[in-house]
Structure 1
Amino acid sequence: MSLVDYHCTDRVARITLSNGRRGNPVHPQLVDALAEAVRRARADDAHVVVLSHEGTAFSVGGDVAAFAAADDTERLVDDLAEDLHRVVGELHRMNAVVVSVVAGTAAGAGVALAAAADLVLAGASARFTLAYTKIGFSPDGGTSLLTASLGLHRVLRLALLNPVVTADEALAMGLVAHVFPDAGLGAGVEEVVRRLRAGSRAAQVAAKRLLRETATPGEESALRRESVSIRARAASPDGREGVAAFLAKRTPSFPGD
């Protein structure tokens, strides 16, 4: 089964997370498929990349069941974070404007992946929640980079209290560029793509690079710190209890490290 679909027409590359039946969980196979789609978009010299999804979730976040089943959870989480961070870095650096489209749930790494885009478009049904600390993990996927765009205390609230943020709330805080009615989301996305394609690609890419490099000059080291931190959390007693509680659908009782 394909986890990520790809096609490119008129220099608009469309990357679709296609494991909607499971909520597009983030695991090594999905990240590998996503990396290949990004490589294809670069080879096709795409002007605009649209990252969207099938099903009712953009992504439910990390595949917690895979974490629990792994022989070496610490190694799996570290490798997964590093691979995901390479994809995020490619999206940030590519000579294209990246647009993500969220209808329904984006949780954990799904939030970070959606936010890796230059523009985040949402349907009215979109909901965002980090949820990492609910299972004893720390954030990855570039979540720490959001402090540059959303502000430190706003991101701390998202990371520590794990609220479910509506599409309109995400728009107000600056995470989302535009909210469309669910029935009009497709048309809204196409209008944004049309406007981007009508503009100067060279100017858009120059603006993207200038603003990103100014906002997050230490991106590579920040992503590496995320990998080191989530690896340690996954191996900790709290991380193991959080995963077990999530799978058992019970409230975790964190023992502390």
Structure 2
Amino acid sequence: MTDFLIEERDEHGVVTLTMNRPEQRNALSEEHEMLEFVQACHRLERDDTVRAVVLTGAGSSFSAGGNVKHMRDKKSFSAGSPVQVCEAYRRGIQQIPLALYHLNVPTIAAINGPAIGAGLDLACMCDIRIASDSALFAASFIKLGIVPADGGAWLLSRVLGAPKALELMLTGDRIKADEAREIGLITRIVPGDTLLAEAQAMARRIAEQPPLTLRLTKRLLRESQFASLQSSLELAAAYQALAHHTKDHDEAVAAFLEKRSPHYQAH
């Protein structure tokens, strides 16, 4: 493990992951950094005490995406033959969306500055996105003569719809936080000096909910995006049957009837 990701955990089960390459604007460029990202997601996935995850960047950027100098010098996942480049993507950066997007606990991107290229894709892998008033966004791959190969074509179209996603990907235009909110890319804008605190406060509100039901609800929503109504209802019925037989449900009902705050236990 390296120190690319700083992991902090509070008493509410909220984990904050901070990308810690401010001098490189938190670019995703080294294989060991990508592996660290994937390993962190897998570790958090297996930890039943984790209730929510906040992802942010150190310094003035959320993430500048790929390392353009590596592209110029044909280093890292730009190195080698076309077959080698393809395999480098498959084994490297493409493992991040598979790990982060499918993390069962809710995730919040606290976008503290520019989220460019793969950095924008990284934000879209999270369930909720809030941004500072200085944030910038761009699906800028076209400006470098490459395609969005780390999940952007799939992710951005599901967040914004295909026409708007295609507009951003074909122009490479940068948009500010207010426009990002208007088109639904982010849900709120907050001052930069309060961004992390507000993201963590939201995560704590989520973490107060029944932990098993949190995971089931996120999974149901994700699976329902690709299912027919009938299939979604069938899955919901199955998940509901599981939920009705959890200690979380019993405690939630008891707390409601007794007019007190619930006390959920890690499973």
- Length-normalised TM-score, structure 1: 0.78
1:63 is matched with: 67
In 1, Cα distance between equivalents of 2:208 and 2:81: 47
User: What number of residue pairs does the alignment pair up?
Assistant: 217
Tell whether 2:92 aligns with 1:80: no
1:95 maps to a residue whose letter is N
| 2:173 alignment partner in structure 1 | 163
| Cα distance in structure 2, aligned partners of 1:207 and 1:133 | 36
- Secondary structure, counterpart of 1:88 in structure 2: helix
Query: Which residue number corresponds to residue 36 of structure 1?
Result: 39
* Cα distance between partner residues in 2 of 1:187 and 1:12: 12
SS in 2 for 1:140: coil
Listed as ranges, the matches of 1:123-134 within 5 Å are 123-134=132-143
Segments of 5+ residues of structure 2 without an aligned counterpart are 228-267
Larger radius of gyration: 2
**Contact 1:131-1:159 within 8 A present in 2 as well:** yes
1:12 aligns with 2:14: yes
Q: Which amino acid aligns with 2:221?
A: L
Deviations 1:1-26 (A, max 9, x none): 72221233332222110001111111
* Residues 212/16 of structure 1: CA separation in 2 closer, same or farther (3 Å cut): same
Shift of 1:82: 4.3
| Structure 1 residues 121 and 89: CA distance shift in structure 2, 3 A | same
Measure, in 2, the Cα distance between the counterparts of 1:122 and 1:73: 38
SS of 1:14 mapped into structure 2: strand
Q: Where does residue 219 of structure 2 map in the other structure?
A: 209
Corresponding residue number in structure 2 for 1:95: 104
Q: 1:138 aligned to 2:147?
A: yes
1:87 Cα deviation (Å)? 2.0
Contact preservation (8 Å) 1:67, 1:76: no
Answer whether contact 1:81 1:140 (CA < 8 A) is retained.
no
Once residues 226 and 178 of structure 2 are traced to their aligned partners in structure 1, the CA distance between those partners, rounded to angstroms, is 26
Q: What corresponds to 2:253 in structure 1?
A: none
Question: Do the aligned residues in 2 keep the contact of 1:8 with 1:41 (CA within 8 Å)?
Answer: no
1:121 partnered with 2:120: no
Moved more, 107-116 or 9-18: 9-18
Distance 1:98 1:159 in 2: 24
TM-score (norm 2): 0.75
Structure 2 equivalent of residue 52 of structure 1: 56
Percent identical among aligned pairs is: 26
Which amino acid is 1:87 matched to? Answer: I
**CA RMSD in angstroms, aligned pairs only:** 1.9
- CA deviation after TM superposition for structure 1 residue 92, in Å: 2.3
1:72 maps to amino acid: G
- Find the aligned partners of 1:173 and 1:101 in 2 and give their Cα distance: 18
Could you tell me whether the CA contact under 8 Å between 2:89 and 2:150 is conserved in 1?
Answer: no
CA deviations on 1:77-97 (whole Å, 9 max, x unpaired) are 641354323221222222210
